[in-house]
Amino acid sequence: MLPAGVLTARRAVVAAARPRWAVSAGIRHRSGDDRKCTTAGCRLPEPKRRSYVGCGRRATDFPSVAGYCTARAGKKTVPFVLADIGEGISEVTVKEWYVNVGDVVSEFDDVCEVESDKATVTITSRYAGTVTKVHHETGATARVGSALVDIEVAEEGHPAEEPVAAAAGTESEPEVLADDADRVVAGSSGEPAGLDSSDAGVASKVLTTPAVRRIAAEKGIDLTTVRGTGKQGRVLKEDLLGFEDHLLSSSAPAPPAPAVSTPLTEDFVPLTGYAKTMRKTMEASNKIPTLVITDEVNLTRLIELKAQLAPHVKLTLLPFLMKATSLALARHPRINSTASPDFTAYRPNRSHNIGVAIDTPLGLAVPNVKDVQTLSVVGVAHRLAELRAKAANGKLAPSDVTGGTFTLSNMGTIAGSAFQPMILPPEVAIGALGRINYRPRYDDQERLVRTPVMGVSWAADHRILDGAAVARFYKDWKTYVENPSLVLADVQLDE
């Protein structure tokens, strides 16, 4: 058995990534410790000792002296990083913290709530332990792959404490061989001095998946230089992202001194959340060659049907209009398609995931009701109510606002008899529903009557759709809306 304080080759591999220890007059301490001995004759008080394995090595515990190990016996501190939450999201804003330093968390406990430019997401813990550090203030921006909090957890495979043989009533110094200890921890590469080639192979082996190895190869990252935060030190995808951000920030030139802000620039408010998404989407939409068709529909029968159903079920007009849209899309699948990246082809979508614009405290959101073609009017109404409640509370998930195939903008509920909508790529068409107004119109008997009418506009990507295709779709949609019993009966029109 080696003397106490001398690390074996395999323990040195683990120790390479942890704080270095120095040896002075037989007492081991961390370099830089305020309480370290500075002279050869320095001796610390000799409280009762017990042996434990901490920080990946055996040491002597002095309860009254701080700073002998970076973690407590059998404990280690791991960073809980922000994982990739999909949909191309690279950074989020921390909206609210559910934990503070010192709190004990279990796996899947809520840690914080973050807001991306697409949705609000609650982040849950992957670890069970004690929070030791919170890396971001509320309202700060956190990048995917960066640490959110540090959590002190139990070390896996922590061996039982080994008793130290000591004669009763006698004092003994910890047995440390300075030469051997220095030789073990020497070198900054993480490979202990004196190891043979077979032991060096242990140091270079990295636990990870083939996908992560491929990403590392594409980015030219040496996996042996990346600190893994997964189980047993496994390198995860977010570890690579965080490591790449670190390299970019360390290699980037120092930014120039900021210019003195004028009072005008200090008044600017940055766009965040849904507003940030709107800016990006509208910039892309503005590049689309758009054709627009505008007309009005007679809502007399639809309003009468709604009144007949009122004693039994409370419905607004929007679920009827969405179901009518789905029935018309079934007859004109090209309207419900997605263009190829080069706009030389299109893919009809089987699902009718119809988005609706919802005004929320966080800005304008466009969640979509999935598979409207499989739902009844009442089913559509229930899904809409769920989305509105989630939007009002800022709880929309990424899946709620992605995957749309067609959109209806109902800004007319606020104001505007008619307006030109902006297409939301990669969709190829959008409908705009204006305000309901009562206008004098002739009925079937050529009588001038007070009639509820609604202005509608249809915008389409002219690279994929021509005016005739959009007009035929609108003609069928108008038939369904002006004859709502066809919508309730889920009737397909004749050719």
The interaxial angle of helices 377-392 and 317-331, nearest 10 deg, is 120
| Catalytic pick among 61, 466, 490, 494 | 466
Whether 466 is a known active-site residue: answer yes
Nearest residue to 297 (alpha-carbon basis) of 73, 97, 475: 475
What the block records as the tokens of 298 is 């007679």
What are the residues whose beta carbons fall under 8 Å from the beta carbon of 277, sequence distance 6 or more?
A: 117, 118
Which whole-number Å values give the CA distances from 302 to 49, 212, 295, 297, 481, in the listed order? 85, 56, 17, 11, 7
Residue written as token pair 């909508």: 421
Helix (H) or strand (E) holding 472: helix 467-482
Helix/strand/coil percentages in the chain, nearest 5: 30, 25, 45
487 residue type, one letter:
V
Whether 312 is a known active-site residue: answer no
| Catalytic pick among 199, 462, 476, 494 | 462
DSSP output for 101-148:
TT-EE-TT-EEEEEE-SS-EEEEE-SS-EEEEEE---TT-EEETTSEE
- Rounded CA-CA distance 62/60 in Å is 6
Distance of alpha carbon 57 from the chain centroid: 37
Distance of alpha carbon 1 from the chain centroid: 50
How many C-beta neighbours within 10 Å does residue 288 have?
Answer: 19
- Rounded CA-CA distance 17/14 in Å is 6
Active site residues: 462, 466
